[in-house]
Every structure is written in structure tokens, then in C-alpha cells.
Amino acid sequence: MAPPAADADIQPPTTAFEPPQVKTLGAQSTGSASRLSGPLTYSGSLDSYEQFDVTSVIGREFPGLQLTDILHDDNKIRDLAILVSQRGVVFFRNQDINIDDQKLLGQRLGELTGKPETSKLHRHALSNSKRGIAVDENGKLDDEVSVISSEQNRKYYGDRYSRISKRLAGEGWHADITFEHIPSDYAILKIVQPPEDAGGDTLWASGYEAYDRLSPALQKLAESLTATHHQPNFVKVKDTFGADLIDDYRGAPENTGLDFKAEHPVVRTNPVTGWKSLFSAGHQVHAGWINGVTERESDILKAYFYQLIAENHDLQVRFRWNKNDLAVWDNRSVFHTATNDYSGKRQGNRVVSLGEKPYFDPRSVSRREALAQTA
């Protein structure tokens, strides 16, 4: 099934695989910039596989496709990356992909869509092999796999991950690892052990649509701002539990140290689509701030950006996990949060690819503007 016309790219379609043009998009010309010269075009190579949009704004599901069947087809993997960037998140059921191939997929999604050569797979400071949690049935430990463990989260973060917590569940909305100077482009999560009881769903929200919900005046303001993203919890865990953190190379030369603090634009351009997305919002700026404004103004802007994400259910999609289900999402343009409404064990393997240094290109357009051009 071909993607609906509203989801077509803004360039004429191509039918053959074409490697990304090795030029930078936006103002950057450094080794950490995207290598794309402009937005990419979906070629249609995945049209023969059953697929459907989960909501009108975000999410697509391939109910029967095994990723192992297309893993070594560059055209199809590139098209998959484009679909993920357009739809925000793409779901696959009951996948047989092993952890090594999951890592290969994570790296290829970015490589085939222009990620910098210096950007590899992320080595998470805390959720790594030092926790001693195997990533396969053979007991393999791997720093390039972030183990999503309910038991570890409950140990380190207490009531935040308890089903009887009295905290607002929506506090968890975030994009992955934005505290890094070079954050993620694509992430792949495979749940290998869903809770035995009901619960444990994950929700995603569209940063594209959140940007489009802003008035033109606020869009212009947001485009002029940067924000400091900060994650102090890892150092707290280190100090409280004696957990050893990875403080050297974490998948890119720029990602080192224990500051876990980085400055990024409030509105980010996704190089694959060329669309604007609200980026500096949610939990990643909870301990951070909007730069160049007063503390009170920062708090007001942070609260409103969060409200756009958490209180608009029509820009969200919710996914109930079964064993070995897998999701691929674009961290540049979506936020996500887990639902801690279960008492059993939940565990998954997440591979996080690193992308380009975030930037805002004033020539980029919003998702609504792009779709209006193709209607």
C-alpha cells in the first residue's frame, strides 16, 4: 500500500536507490553536520508490504513485515528511514531480528540518510553493560545497547516508575539523549519481555504537529531561541548507588564527560524531511532552561511547550506491546513516554543511533505547509 498523498515527500518521486548528496543542509559546515543537500524522497520500495497509518498525524504499522527480510536492501532501509522521519514512529510485530542485526539496522538508517561519518551508535552513560543485564539469550553484554529495564528503573528512580505513583504520568515526555551534544536521529526498541499483566504501553507525540499548533508570532519567537538541555539524574544515581558511568566516548567525539548538558535550538529542522519540529520541550528541559530570556519567561515557555505535547491527544499515538514487537522512531521530531501501570517485569533492547548536530534552517517548512504543497 502506498503512503497517502498527504505523506508524500515534497520532491518528485524517484524509482532507484540514490545515495545521499554529500553536502550540508543548513548553516553548518562542520564534521557534525548532516551530509544531505536537501530533503529525501520516498521511492516506493516498501509499497508492496501491508501497512497502515495508526493515526492521521503520527504512526505507521507494518503488521506482517520481518525486518530481517529487508535488512540488506539499502533502498528499502533508506525508504524505511524516510517513512519513519515522515510518520514519526513505525511499528513492527513479532520480530525475529537479533541484537547484532538490530544494531546494524540502527546504524544503516542514519548512514543511508546522511548522518555524519563520526556519528555511530550511542553508548548510554547509565543503561549499559555495567548493569550486568544481558541483551540476548547467550548472556551477551553490550555498551551499544540501552537495556530498558523496569527493575533497574524502580531501583534508581523509585516511585516515578511505580504503578502506585502519585506523580503526573505525563512528566515523562521526552526525546532520547538530548543532553548529548550530538543526540539521536533514530532509535529502535524491541520489547523482549512485556509485563505479564496489562500495561506498559508507550506513547509518542509529534513535534511537527506541536510546532504547527503554535501561532505565527510564537513560531517566530521559538525559532529565534535556543535551550539548555540537562539531565542531572545520572550523576545522582552515581552518587547514591555508586553506579559506574561511561564518561568517555559515547558514540561521537563530542559526547564525553559527566555534565550531561547541551545547548540546542528550540525549533529543529529534520534534514530528512526538511520540516520544522518543536524540539526543546518536555522532560529534557525540565532541569534545563530557555536561553536568553528571564527565568520566569523560561518557565512559562517550558510549561506551554509541555502542554502542547501532553494535552493534545490527537498528535499522539499509543502502542501496546506484545513479545518481540519493535518500534523505530525519529528522535529529532517526536517525543515519547512509557506507561508505568503494571507491577510485573518489563524489559527491552533499545539501539540509539546518533545523528547530526541539531540546527534550525530558516528555509525549512512546517509539516502542514509541506503537505499543503503536495495536496
**Whole-angstrom distance, CA of residue 274 vs CA of residue 205:** 18
DSSP states of 41-106: ---STTTTS--EESSSSS-EEESS--GGGTTT-HHHHHHHHHHHHHHSEEEESS----HHHHHHHH
Q: Looking at residue 44, what is its pLDDT?
A: 98
Helix (H) / strand (E) element for 239: namely helix 233-241
Instruction: State how many domains the chain has.
Output: 1
Q: Looking at residue 170, what is its pLDDT?
A: 76
- Alpha helical stretches, state H, 90-229: 99-111, 150-157, 207-212, 216-223
Domain span at 337:
29-374
Note the pLDDT tens digit of each residue in 115-142.
999 999 999 999 888 888 889 888 989 9
Buried/exposed 30-57: b ≥16 CB within 10 Å, e otherwise: ebbbbbbeebbbbbebbeeeebebbbeb
In a domain, 273, yes or no: yes
In a domain, 270, yes or no: yes
- The overall average pLDDT reported for the chain is 90
User: CB–CB of 11/41 below 8 Å?
Assistant: yes
In a domain, 109, yes or no: yes
In a domain, 23, yes or no: no
* pTM recorded for the entire structure: 0.91
**Whole-angstrom distance, CA of residue 24 vs CA of residue 326:** 31
In a domain, 62, yes or no: yes
Helix (H) / strand (E) element for 267: namely strand 267-270
User: CB–CB of 353/21 below 8 Å?
Assistant: no
Which amino acid is present at 161? Answer: Y
In a domain, 21, yes or no: no
C-alpha cell at 177: 539523549
In a domain, 7, yes or no: no
CATH at residue 180:
3.60.130.10
In a domain, 18, yes or no: no
Note the pLDDT tens digit of each residue in 1-42.
333 333 333 333 333 444 444 444 444 457 899 999 999 999
